[in-house]
A = this chain, B = another copy of it.
Amino acid sequence: MIIVPGSQSQNLAYEVAKLLNEKYVRVEFKRFPDNEIYVRLLDEINDDKAVIISTQRNQNDAIVESFLLYDALKDEAVEEIILVAPYLAYARQDKKFNPGEAISIRILAKIYSKLFDKVITINPHEEHIKEFFTVPFISLDAVPKLAEYVKDKLDNPIVLGPDQGALRFAKSAAEVLNAEYDYLEKTRITPTEIKIAPKNLDVKDRDVLIVDDIISTGGTVATAAKMMKEQGAKKIIAACVHPVLIGDALNKLYSSGIEEVVGTNTFSSEVSKVSVAEVIANSLK
């Protein structure tokens, strides 16, 4: 098995290769003057199985790049090619929200399924996207890694998902921390006033871990943190797998009373402090 990096995942791919003691393939990445991308495998390929590790941060570039890597590998007679997309672009456009829309991840899944023999990702926003793939689709969980990271930083914390959809992430972290978990529920108190509180638990005088798959604008988590502070929470850490963190998201989060924001390296950012290399490596063993 050989490990082939995408241009945005060279470090991650190298870590995975080291953990597995498998060959890391050196790849030349460049752009032509007209902005077309170019890939070239610099090592001789004598293996019939390859793993492309390509986080899709600059989405369209990474998608096309994975096609080019596929082509170069197939030309070297590689039989089986696995795509590891730790951050899977377009996974949030997973249904029609309005008539006439594309279901973006459906068509990408269709194309990936024509090319790759297996697709592996980490904590996609919705698990049901698996249905769009006609090859094995593996969804890994990096939340335990985040939980390990915060373990010594929080004292007997409550783990909270910012909404019901995030309860599964809270549960996954709580298992590692041996902690209670819950999700935040919105209640409309007056026409203009909303209360956000844990459905069943009380955060008064407790450390809190808020955990989600993606933090994008940071609005939801910042509002939640502010409310938890008002309800007497002590130290709050916000953790997410994919720190997309658009614009001033970190400003918003730190202004809300959060002590630390942490994410993984599925998406390169200032807070990508936790590596998913081991999670990926384990899935390839």
- Chain B CB within 8 A of A140 CB: no
| 0/1 string, A57-79, CB within 8 A of B gives 1 | 01111011001111110011000
Q: Are B60 and A102 in contact (CB under 8 A)?
A: no
Cα A279 to Cα B39 with chains together (Å): 34
Q: Are B98 and A247 in contact (CB under 8 A)?
A: no
Q: Are A102 and B69 in contact (CB under 8 A)?
A: yes
Binds B, one of A29-37, A175-183, A224-232: A29-37
Residues A25-64 near B (CB distance < 8 A):
28, 32-43, 58-61, 63-64
* Contact with A64, one of B43, B63, B75, B115 (Cβ below 8 angstroms): B63
**Which residue of chain B has the shortest Cβ distance to A33 in the bound complex?**
B246
Q: Which of A38, A41, A64 has the most CB of B within 10 A?
A: A64
Residues A191-225 near B (CB distance < 8 A):
216-217
Q: Which of A40, A60, A72, A76 has the most CB of B within 10 A?
A: A60
Number of residues of chain A lying within 8 A (CB) of chain B: 49
A114-B111, A247-B33 known; A102-B59 Cβ under 8 A: no
**Which residue of chain B has the shortest Cβ distance to A108 in the bound complex?**
B67
- Chain B CB within 8 A of A90 CB: yes
A38-B93, A40-B100, A217-B33 known; A60-B64 Cβ under 8 A: yes
Q: Are A68 and B216 in contact (CB under 8 A)?
A: no
A33-B247, A34-B216, A102-B39 known; A59-B64 Cβ under 8 A: yes
**Which residue of chain B has the shortest Cβ distance to A39 in the bound complex?**
B102
Q: Write the nearest CB–CB distance from A246 to chain B, whole angstroms.
A: 5
Q: What are some 21 contacts across the A-B interface (CB < 8 A)?
A: A33-B216, A33-B246, A33-B247, A34-B244, A34-B246, A35-B58, A36-B59, A36-B89, A38-B93, A38-B101, A38-B102, A39-B101, A39-B102, A40-B100, A42-B100, A67-B107, A67-B108, A68-B107, A71-B103, A75-B96, A76-B100
